[in-house]
Amino acid sequence: MTDKIEGLLKEVDGLQASSAKEAEALRVKYLGKKGIINDLMADFRNVPADQKKAVGMKLNELKNKAQEKINALKEAADTQDHVADDIDLTRTAYPVALGTRHPLTIVKNEIVDIFSRLGFTLAEGPEVEDDWHVYSSMNFADDHPARDMQDTFFVEAHPDIVLRSHTSSVQARVMERQQPPIRVICPGRVYRNEAISARAHCFFHQVEGLYVDRNVSFTDLKQVLLLFAQEMFGKETKIRLRPSYFPFTEPSAEMDISCDICGGKGCSFCKYTGWVEILGCGMVDPAVLDANGIDSRIYTGYAFGMGIERITNLKYKVKDLRMFSENDLRFLEEFTSAN
């Protein structure tokens, strides 16, 4: 048996394999359950007692050497299989086409960042909502004409379920589960049954803000909106507030900014007024606070809302709203540097 083992040691030393499959075949041949070395192990019981020590040591040497040799062949074969001659591993990965954030996402993130620095936290809610959170909790009467003005998408099988027409529903959900102080910013997609054109779409995006606490005033609202406008459009930006009406705020206002194209002097973009409307705002109606479980005798608050498409148009001069949802790479690639 000793001579046979010596012969196998030399044989193992000269083993070659050009692939992982060949290396595995060698493992089965020498080290498998029915392999050569296992057969020698079985014959070991027939070795005379005075030779068992010497033969046992030789047999272990053969087994270890076969294991090491076959492992080395497997490693070499794996490396060879994964490296093709025509691939230069030192070559840089570029040029690789880099993606870009959508312009609406860029602007939304900028708006959220500005208000985050003013102490607002992010709040989100479902796009498929019930009538209470979209309308009733926001002081819309059952027969209020504003419900018709919204031109809402209703779910046919459930007339009480709608696609939200504004993100005020998120404010309602925050107020019903949290007592003041509340300071949240609510971005999201909204839906209205409008004809699609360069100036309108059946879905668009809003950001609404809400601040409720003791002694909140209209002055606080004006100062926050002025800071926002100057952060978003530049330090020279001016604002003006015009009286308006919304069911959920009283008093209500619409806010204009000085046109950043003509500097307020008047141009075709601002229709020669020097001002461009960007959002609606006002003090939260006490009825809204009470409907959502907040005592209006103790707390006051303000709210505001703006269309992200509107702000994006002002920043990047995009003339057609449909471009935001057409996924035209030529359009989207213009915003690579804005990331």
pLDDT above 70 as % of the chain: 92
Average pLDDT over residues 275-300: 95
Boundaries of every domain in the chain: 2-82, 103-338
pTM over 0.85: no
Rg (CA), the chain: 37
Give residue 151's region: left, alpha or beta (phi > 0; psi -120 to 50).
left
CATH class (in words) of the domain with range 103-338: alpha beta
pLDDT of residue 248: 94
User: Which has the higher per-residue pLDDT, 86 or 152?
Assistant: 152
Query: What are the tokens at 79?
Result: 């490396």
User: Which has the higher per-residue pLDDT, 160 or 175?
Assistant: 175
Does 243 score more than 90 pLDDT? Answer: yes
User: Which has the higher per-residue pLDDT, 155 or 239?
Assistant: 239
Listed range (126-135, 205-214, 254-263) with the worst mean pLDDT: 254-263
- β-strands 121-122, 182-191 pairing: parallel
pLDDT of residue 26: 84
- pLDDT tens for each residue of 64-75: 888 888 888 888
Does 86 score more than 70 pLDDT? Answer: no
Listed range (47-61, 148-162, 209-223, 273-287) with the worst mean pLDDT: 148-162
Instruction: Name the residue among 279, 48, 20, 289 with its Cα closest to residue 178.
Output: 289
Does 157 score more than 90 pLDDT? Answer: no
